[in-house]
Amino acid sequence: MLTPVNPTTGTALPEVESLTLAEAEDMIGRAVAAAPAWAAMSYSERAKCLINIAAEMRECKDELAQLMAKEMGKPMREGLGEVEKSAFCAEYYADNGEAFLEPETLASDATDSYVCHQPLGTVLGILPWNAPVWLALRFLAPALMAGNTCVMKPDPNVPESAACLTRIFQKNLPDGVMQNLPITTEIVGDAIDHPGIKAVSFTGSSGAGQKVAARAAAGLKPAVLELGGSDPCIVLNDADIQKACDVITLSRMINAGQSCIAAKRVIVEAGVYDDVCRELTERFNALELGDPSLENQCIGPIAREDLRDQLHSQVMRSIQDGAECLTGGEKPDMPGFFYPPTLLAGVTSEMAVFREETFGPVLAICKAANLDEALTIANDTEYGLGSSIWTGSDTSAQRAARELNAGQVAINGIVKTDPRLPSGGIGKSGYGRELGPHGIREFVNIKQIWAA
- 182 neighbors 19 (Cβ within 8 angstroms): yes
Choice among 71, 91, 160, 226 that is catalytic: 226
CA–CA distance, 432 with 226 (Å, rounded to integer): 8
Q: Return phi, psi of residue 85, to 5°.
A: -65, -40
Query: Residue 30 has what DSSP assignment?
Result: H
Known catalytic membership, residue 164? no
Known active-site residue 89: no
Q: Return d(Cα 162, Cα 17) in angstroms, integer.
A: 14
Alpha helices, DSSP H, located in 101-222: 134-145, 159-171, 188-193, 206-218
The closest alpha carbon to 409, from 387, 382, 427, belongs to 387
Q: In this structure, what DSSP letter does residue 184 have?
A: -
Q: What is the DSSP string of 403-415?
A: HS-SSEEEESS--
Q: Identify whether the C-beta of residue 233 lies closer than 8 Å to the C-beta of residue 387.
A: yes
User: Residue 41 and residue 263: Cα distance in Å, rounded?
Assistant: 42
Nearest to 144 by CA among 256, 208, 51: 51
Strands (DSSP E) found in 274-400? 324-327, 342-345, 362-368, 386-390
Active-site hit among 260, 277, 298, 366: 260
Q: Which amino acid is at 132?
A: P
301 — phi, psi (to 5°)?
-80, 165
Give pairs for 377-382: CB < 8 Å, separation 24+: 377/232, 377/265, 377/267, 377/349, 378/232, 378/234, 378/265, 378/267, 378/404, 379/232, 379/403, 379/404, 379/405, 380/349, 381/230, 381/232, 381/265, 381/354, 381/355, 381/427, 382/427, 382/428
Catalytic residue annotation: 226, 260
